[in-house]
Amino acid sequence: MAIVLGPNQYGKAEVRVVAVDRSTPRHSLVDLNVSSALRGDFAAAHTAGDNAHVLTTDAQKNTVFAFARDGIGSCEEFGIRLADHFTSSYPWVSGARVAIESYGWDRITVGGQPHDHAFRRPGGEVRTAVVTVDGDDVHVIAGLTDLVVLKSTGSEFWGFPRDRYTTLPETTDRVLATAVTARWRYTGTDVDWNGSYDAVRTTLLETFAGTHSLALQQTLYAMGEKALEQHGDVAEIRFSMPNKHHFLQDLSAYGLDNALDAPGAVVYHADDRPYGLIEGTVLRDDVPAAPAAWLGTPGFC
């Protein structure tokens, strides 16, 4: 009896690449989750720790980002480009599997017009309602979770203090993305619930799109302020908004620039964790607080 190596493959799973075409003011974006796996003669790595045949998973990840710089096109084309590249890179790489998930983004409409650089990811979003009767009081909190939105420009972040652990560069043009959880409390119950829900949601989307953001905190406040200005029967609105970071990928190590104004797609790494978590309440100061309305609804400060 001999023990032998059976089928094997290896690669980098779930490379989150976002390529933004900024060549005109009307941006478009491709948002992918790419997993590559190589097959071939990798026996020595397994049996002897000899890595001479191992095209690193790190290089596979870098290849995904580098190839995205030329634009992604369809995910099928992108997969073929990558798989062809990997299999032609070394004679012992006889096969490659490239699996791609593509996340669609719709343009946010503002005043009936599709926005140039503000997008909403369809799916996932959930409408919520919490009704609390407390003695004679009836409280209604409407809301939504997982309203995923992104601006490919119109977002800056600078002017923050720098201590010895602060390495974040200042930026005047970044991707801003979040998954909005919002809950808003009505002052009464004489409300067209569906109409009001749609209208508040529209206000949130239009304000996210239309606010030139200096911080996600500022965008949060602007969304709440507009919701209260435009909807007189809303007493307060609470938000929980993760900052879904999109880092400009550094491609300089392989001789590629990734400048915001260079031709080709601008390539970002969509990082899923850790994430900033920005939470806040915007309220009318002349409406009594209603702590009973929020009892048992966690996730807000």
- Set 53, 57, 132, 231: catalytic member: 57
- Set 27, 139, 245, 246: catalytic member: 245
The yes or no reply on residue 188 touching ligand URC (CB under 6 A) is no
b/e string for 116-140 if b means 16 or more Cβ within 10 A? bbbbbbeeeeeeeebebeeeeeebb
Q: Is 151 among the residues known to form the active site? A: no
Q: Report in angstroms the alpha-carbon separations of 243 from 93, 220, 247.
A: 39, 11, 12
**Within 206-225, which residues bind ligand URC (CB under 6 A)?**
215-217
Based on CB atoms, which residue is closest to ligand URC, 144 or 177? 177
Interface pick for ligand URC out of 80, 126, 168, 292 (rule CB under 6 A): 168
- Residue nearest to ligand URC according to CB distances in the complex: 216
The answer to whether the beta carbons of residues 249 and 269 sit under 8 Å apart is yes
How much helix, strand and coil, in percent to the nearest 5, is found in the chain?
25, 35, 40
Would the annotation count 190 as a binding residue? Answer: no
Closest distance to ligand URC from the beta carbon of 157 (Å): 5
Would the annotation count 41 as a binding residue? Answer: no
The answer to whether the beta carbons of residues 277 and 243 sit under 8 Å apart is yes
Closest distance to ligand URC from the beta carbon of 116 (Å): 21
Helix, strand or coil, per DSSP, at residue 250: coil
Closest distance to ligand URC from the beta carbon of 160 (Å): 7
Based on CB atoms, which residue is closest to ligand URC, 203 or 243? 243
Would the annotation count 217 as a binding residue? Answer: yes
Element holding 227 (H helix, E strand): helix 216-230
**Within 236-265, which residues bind ligand URC (CB under 6 A)?**
243
Binding mask 118-157 for ligand URC (x = CB under 6 A): ---------------------------------------x
Based on CB atoms, which residue is closest to ligand URC, 139 or 245? 245
Amino acid sitting at position 2? A
Please state whether the peptide bond connecting residue 274 to the residue before it is cis, i.e. omega within 30 degrees of 0: yes
The answer to whether the beta carbons of residues 257 and 229 sit under 8 Å apart is no
* Helix ranges (DSSP H) in 49-182: 57-68, 75-89
Tokens (6 digits) for 170: 């200042």
The answer to whether the beta carbons of residues 37 and 10 sit under 8 Å apart is yes
Residue 142: exposure state from Cβ atoms within 10 A (0-12, 13-18, ≥19): buried
Q: Is 245 among the residues known to form the active site? A: yes
Based on CB atoms, which residue is closest to ligand URC, 264 or 280? 280
Would the annotation count 8 as a binding residue? Answer: no
Interface pick for ligand URC out of 95, 124, 276, 299 (rule CB under 6 A): 276
Dihedral pair phi/psi, residue 167, rounded to 5° = -120, -10
Q: How far is CA 301 from the centre of its chain?
A: 23
Based on CB atoms, which residue is closest to ligand URC, 80 or 168? 168
Would the annotation count 157 as a binding residue? Answer: yes
The answer to whether the beta carbons of residues 17 and 34 sit under 8 Å apart is yes
Q: Is 57 among the residues known to form the active site? A: yes
Task: Please state the residue numbers annotated as binding site for urate.
Answer: 57-58, 157, 174, 217, 243
Task: Please state the residue numbers annotated as binding site for 5-hydroxyisourate.
Answer: 57, 157, 174, 217, 243
Binding site for ligand URC (CB under 6 A): 157, 168, 215-217, 243, 276
| Catalytic (active-site) positions | 12, 57, 245
Task: Please state the residue numbers annotated as binding site.
Answer: 57-58, 157, 174, 217, 243
